[in-house]
Amino acid sequence: MIETLRWTAQGVEMIDQTRLPHVEEFVLCRNYKEVADAIFTMIIRGAPAIGVAAAMGVAIGAQQASDENFEAEFEEICATLAATRPTAVNLFWGIDRMKKLRQSLSGEPLSVVREKLVAEAQIVHAEDIAINKQIGAHGAPLVPDGKTVLTHCNAGALATAGYGTALGVIRAAVEAGKNIDVFADETRPFLQGSRLTVWELQKDGIDTTLITDNMAGHFLRSGRIGCVVVGADRIASNGDVANKIGTYGVAVLAKENGVPFYVAAPISTLDMNIASGEQIPIEERAASEVTAMFGHKVAPDGTKVKNPAFDMTPNRYVTGIITERGVAQAPYEVSLKRLVEGN
């Protein structure tokens, strides 16, 4: 299985996703600032993966914080990690989980607090893999046999602690014996599709074809795509979905062509505090990601650029939201609330 990140005695090791697919190298983050930097520079990316990395960042920070100034340093660690990327709610979920644990241990000696925070980060990691397997089990029956699955960005093992959400559904469908293949959108400008999704599906021997983003409509109209499955960075309580830029266009084209559009995500990606996707902050990334492709300039100097990293797909385009607790369908205000409350 592909290992995205792991806890070690020396720090947090993560596969460097800026160097894939040609260089498979693990980097070691020895303190919380290096973890925050790895999230910011997208050495590690994908909503659930950055949630796990943040939890590990808090744990490593707490280990190194001084006894004298522990509370203030703990706050600083959490604030630094939270300031890395704004859209994926899993980041804040992971940090909050660690903060709540710390609060619950307020009467304990710091040695115990540190030990329990480290253990918790490892639990968050293990749980994420188990959750993705459950998402896969709920999603696999929805994947039409004998057809192609279209996906956008990378919602795979690399975007999680392992197995993946959208790619977890694909993996589970293949494991269930379904005869499917995958079309992966390349996902400009950061190329998570071509660099990461194709890489990891190839490793698993899953038949995968790379297309550029502007080809998706053509293939959705052709009749060969059985369904679209993508991940999510934040889902509002009404089922609006923020995901990698370009997802909205794919969803509209899927609906236009009668192709089901599924979103696969853990409950930790739900933001029940917001009423609609309009309230989701959209990260704007550097212009250089658009004007150059990995060091090669593809636009004249001085070009004006917009580079939103995510877009918002209104709930009316979403056929179902596949979670570890089951599949939510419209009306999402009701179905997501039920899933969150566990009934």
User: Which residues form the catalytic set?
Assistant: 233
SS3 assignment, position 189: coil
CB 103, min distance to ligand MRU, A:
28
The single residue listed with the structure tokens 């979905």 is 241
Nearest to 159 by CA among 63, 259, 247, 39: 39
Region near ligand MRU per CB under 6 A, out of 6-14, 74-82, 230-238, 297-305: 230-238
Q: Does 313 bind ligand MRU (CB under 6 A)?
A: no
Among 78, 220, 309, 336, binds ligand MRU (CB under 6 A): 309
Distance (Å) of CA 82 to CA 23, 166, 184? 29, 25, 30
Residue placing its CB nearer to ligand MRU in the complex, 155 or 253? 155
Q: Are 197 and 151 in contact (CB under 8 A)?
A: yes
164 to 183, contacts with ligand MRU by CB under 6 A?
165
* Of the candidate residues 29, 45, 95, 185, the single one contacting ligand MRU (CB under 6 A): 45
Q: Which of 46, 189, 239, 246 binds ligand MRU (CB under 6 A)?
A: 46
Q: Is 162 in the site for ligand MRU (CB under 6 A)?
A: no
Residues 227 and 327: beta-carbon distance below 8 Å: no
- Asked, as a colleague might, if the bond just before 189 is cis with ω within 30 of 0, I would say yes
220 scored as a contact of ligand MRU (CB under 6 A): no
Strand, helix or coil for residue 91: helix
- Rounded least distance, CB 251 to ligand MRU, Å: 13
Among 159, 170, 201, 228, binds ligand MRU (CB under 6 A): 159
Question: Which residues, numbered 61-90, are part of the site for ligand MRU (CB under 6 A)?
Answer: 88
Distances (CA, A) of 133 to 130, 139, 193, 329, 332: 5, 10, 21, 20, 23
Choose one: 54-62, 158-166, 290-298, 300-308; the region binding ligand MRU (CB under 6 A): 158-166
Alpha-carbon gap, residue 258 to 148, rounded angstroms: 14
139 is a contact residue toward ligand MRU (CB under 6 A): no
Out of 4, 84, 197, 243, the only residue in the binding site for ligand MRU (CB under 6 A) is 243
Q: N- to C-terminal Cα distance for the chain?
A: 33
Looking at the chain, the number of H-run helices and the number of E-run strands are: 12, 16
**Cβ-based neighbours of 336, under 8 Å, separated by 6 or more:** 235, 237, 239, 270, 272, 321, 328
Q: For residue 228, state whether it binds ligand MRU (rule: CB under 6 A).
A: no
Residue 268 sits in the site that holds ligand MRU (CB under 6 A): no
Binding to ligand MRU (CB under 6 A) within 191-210 occurs at 192
Supply the minimum distance, in Å, between the C-beta of residue 151 and ligand MRU: 9
What does the per-residue mask of binding to ligand MRU show for 92-131, with x meaning CB under 6 A? ----------------------------------------
Closest CA to 89 of 249, 252, 279: 279
- For residues 52 and 91, give the distance between their C-alpha atoms in angstroms, rounded to a whole number: 8
Q: Are the CB atoms for 51 and 269 separated by under 8 Å?
A: no
Give the Cα separation of 14 and 2 in Å (integer): 11
The least CB distance from residue 160 to ligand MRU, in Å, is 5
Applying CB under 6 A, which of residues 29, 47, 55, 259 lies at the interface with ligand MRU? 47
Q: Interface with ligand MRU includes 91 (CB under 6 A)?
A: no
Binding site for ligand MRU (CB under 6 A): 45-48, 88, 153, 155, 159-160, 165, 192, 231-233, 243-244, 309
